[in-house]
Amino acid sequence: MAYQLVYFPGPGRADIIKLIAEHCAIPYEFKSISFEDGSWTSTQPNTRYGQLPSLKVDEDFTLYQTIPIARFLAKQANFHPTDERNQAILEECVSAIDELTNHVIRIVYFTSEDKKEEERVKFQNGWLKLIMKGLNSHLIKNNGNLVPGGLSWADLYLYDLLSYLDLYRFEVVVDDSKLETLKANVLKSERVKAYLESPRNLKKH
């Protein structure tokens, strides 16, 4: 049975979940909840935290929050490190990427227009630069991957973040950057490439 992924009809928090499902060939159905037609107003009271995404696994099990859903799918597909140290590195990187993602969401969606440029520049010169430097240090060590041993779902999450930064025109400046190598490594996945070119990729369509 296909899992049911529920989110809004646009790019956002569900994208990393889709990337993992697509790369790992995990069957899923995407259910879009719209603000305009009142669907979200009627759906929100029935969510656990008043938020999306959610993943319905079966009638008895629905999971909420992006990172736990992503981790669950990765483990289901054996796409999560088995070595404890590599698990710790992955969790470190995912937490760092998630922090940057939260900053981007805050600036793009919750900052007034007259303050956006100021906040964008502050973010680019501050946390974005600092945290990307740390993530890039892992990429340097691991030939363009964040975790030793090859592609991980942390790489997919960083790829997803970079696509957001590009979409919303944030500038990423990193010395000795291996970000392009990371992108190339992700795009070696034929399933990911096919997804990115498909209508299922809401950043593109």
**pLDDT tens profile 146-194:** 999 999 999 999 999 999 999 999 999 999 999 999 999 999 999 999 9
State the Cα–Cα distance between residues 59 and 13, nearest whole angstrom. Answer: 23
Which uninterrupted H or E stretch holds 19?
Answer: helix 15-23
Residues 6 or more apart whose Cβ sits within 8 Å of residue 185: 143, 144, 145, 151, 155
- Predicted model pTM: 0.96
Beta bridge partners of 63: 55
Two structure tokens written together for 193: 């490439």
Domain borders along the chain are 3-78, 84-188
Q: How far is CA 193 from CA 3, 74, 156, 160, 186, in A?
A: 21, 18, 12, 13, 8
**pLDDT tens profile 3-30:** 999 999 988 999 999 999 999 999 999 9
Is-cis flag, bond preceding 11, omega within 30? no
Q: Residues in the chain, how many?
A: 205
Average pLDDT over residues 72-94: 98
**pLDDT tens profile 43-57:** 999 999 999 999 999
3-78: CATH number: 3.40.30.10
Residue 202 has what pLDDT?
86
Q: Is CATH 3.30.1300.10 what the domain over 84-188 is classified as, yes or no?
A: no
Residue 146 has what pLDDT?
98
Q: Mean pLDDT for the chain?
A: 96
**pLDDT tens profile 91-142:** 999 999 999 999 999 999 999 999 999 999 999 999 999 999 999 999 999 9
Is 90 exceeded by the pLDDT of residue 205?
A: no
